[in-house]
């Protein structure tokens, strides 16, 4: 039970801790000042959402997300959100491919070579089917979290951070709902893909509440560290680099590799969500489906997606709030079954 629970916990963390989260950009955009209560609320909401999604996946023995959407939203609305999720996963994966290529440029690797490396590693990952994704997260995510926590604690101690929440100044609490909603679609897509592989209900408790607790603690620590350098963050595209400026160059290299790993896990989550959705209709091995999808996506990395993302992501956020409400209300609407 514990082995399975930890395995799914790292899968959840790998889906959440993408490049935006690991770099600090997402956290700073949603939280910042007066956000202690917001982060606690996010931790609770996130844990509950993970539990509900995993429980539906387990009960319906799902291999893709459509049955979960139908359970939450009804068949008609589920078809609309099905298209939204497909487009969301496509755009996120394309952006991650481009980000992976751009990140490796700092190591003097050409942009296209970086994208090819990303494609090859993703295809190799799915030779082992879903197990490849799970094993990769179990290896990379602990390393990424240990690296982040070590840097943040060291930084906080050097700056005399007290980590005290002033409960009289918590005006930013609504950010908990928007931040949770932003991450709902990829969670539904990825957790639905492993419904048949969950063996025990105890695994759901361990994965959902373990991931929520770890993410809540890491988010609070990260946000408090960013508050110490609030005036400098505007000078950095990646807020984490503002923290790393006082460290040795080798630490910058290490964390850059870790950020690339976060980009890789996000791309892998997108591919898993997409391939699992079409698996019943296309009888091909997962790695071949991955290769075909990535070959279609690769040319699109040259398109200017920054404007597209700037328009689409707020729209995704609004649409996701409805899904978040549906998830939270599901146990109440089905109280006799739960």
What is the structure's pLDDT at 337? 61
| Least confidently predicted of 101-110, 265-274, 303-312 | 303-312
User: What pLDDT score does 206 carry?
Assistant: 97
More confidently predicted of 2 and 20: 2
CA-derived radius of gyration, the chain: 19
311 band by pLDDT with thresholds 50, 70 and 90: low
Q: What's the pLDDT score for residue 203? A: 96
Residue 132's closest CA among 6, 268, 3? 268
Q: pLDDT digits over 247-256, tens only? A: 778 888 888 8
The predicted pLDDT at position 306 comes to 54
Contact indicator for 28, 245 with CB cutoff of 8 Å: no
> Is pLDDT larger for residue 165 or for residue 323?
323
Look over the chain and give the mean of its residue pLDDT values, rounded to a whole number.
88
- Mean pLDDT score, 306-322: 70
Over range 47-57, report the average pLDDT. Answer: 96
Cβ atoms of residues 286 and 194 within 8 Å: no
For residue 167, what pLDDT is reported? 76
Model confidence pLDDT, tens digit, residues 90-118: 988 988 888 888 888 878 899 899 999 99
pLDDT at 312: 66
The pLDDT tens digits for 326-336 are: 999 999 888 75
Burial class (CB in 10 A: 0-12, 13-18, 19+), 60: middle
Q: Is the pLDDT at 338 greater than 80, yes or no?
A: no
- What's the pLDDT tens digit per position in 235-244? 777 788 888 8
Mean pLDDT of 228-236: 83
The pLDDT confidence band at residue 161, using thresholds 50, 70 and 90, is low
Q: What is the mean pLDDT of residues 264-292?
A: 90
pLDDT score, position 317: 72
Which has more confidence, 131 or 306?
A: 131
| pLDDT confidence band for 304 (50 / 70 / 90) | low
Which DSSP symbol is given to 185? H
Q: What is the pLDDT of residues 16-42, one digit of tens each?
A: 887 778 888 889 988 988 899 999 999
What is the distance between the alpha carbons of residues 90 and 231, in angstroms, rounded to a whole number?
A: 35
Q: Are 294 and 123 in contact (CB under 8 A)?
A: yes
In the prediction, which pLDDT does 64 show? 92
Lowest-confidence region among 71-85, 160-174, 308-322: 308-322
The confidence band for 183, taking pLDDT boundaries of 50, 70 and 90, is confident
Unique residue bearing structure tokens 């892998």:
268
To 10 degrees, the CA torsion angle through 274, 276, 281, 282? 80
The angle at the Cα of 193, spanning 188 to 199, to the nearest 5 degrees, equals 110
């Amino acid at each position: 039970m514990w082995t399975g629970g930890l395995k799914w916990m790292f899968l959840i963390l790998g889906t959440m801790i993408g490049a935006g989260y690991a770099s600090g950009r997402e956290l700073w955009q949603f939280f910042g000042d007066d956000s202690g209560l917001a982060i606690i609320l996010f931790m609770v909401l996130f844990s509950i959402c993970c539990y509900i999604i995993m429980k539906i996946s387990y009960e319906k023995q799902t291999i893709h997300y459509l049955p979960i959407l139908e359970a939450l939203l009804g068949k008609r609305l589920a078809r609309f959100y099905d298209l939204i999720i497909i487009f969301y996963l496509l755009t996120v994966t394309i952006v991650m491919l481009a980000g992976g290529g751009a990140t490796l440029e700092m190591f003097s690797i050409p942009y296209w070579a970086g994208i090819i490396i990303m494609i090859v590693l993703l295809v190799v990952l799915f030779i082992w089917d879903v197990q490849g994704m799970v094993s990769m997260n179990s290896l990379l995510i602990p390393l990424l979290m240990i690296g982040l926590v070590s840097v943040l604690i060291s930084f906080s101690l050097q700056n005399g951070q007290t980590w005290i929440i002033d409960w009289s100044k918590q005006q930013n609490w609504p950010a908990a709902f928007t931040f949770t909603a932003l991450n709902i679609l990829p969670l539904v897509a990825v957790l639905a893909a492993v419904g048949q592989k969950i063996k025990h209900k105890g695994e759901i408790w361990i994965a959902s509440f373990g991931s929520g607790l770890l993410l809540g603690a890491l988010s609070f620590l990260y946000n408090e560290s960013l508050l110490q350098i609030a005036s400098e963050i505007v000078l950095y595209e990646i807020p984490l680099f503002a923290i790393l400026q006082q460290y040795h160059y080798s630490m910058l290299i290490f964390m850059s590799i870790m950020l690339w790993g976060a980009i890789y896990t996000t791309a892998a989550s997108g591919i898993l969500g997409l391939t699992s959705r079409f698996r019943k209709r296309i009888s091909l091995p997962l790695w071949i489906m991955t290769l075909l999808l990535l070959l279609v996506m690769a040319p699109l990395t040259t398109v200017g997606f920054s404007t597209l993302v700037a328009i689409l992501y707020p729209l995704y956020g609004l649409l996701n709030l409805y899904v978040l409400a549906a998830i939270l209300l599901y146990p109440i609407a089905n109280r006799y079954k739960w």
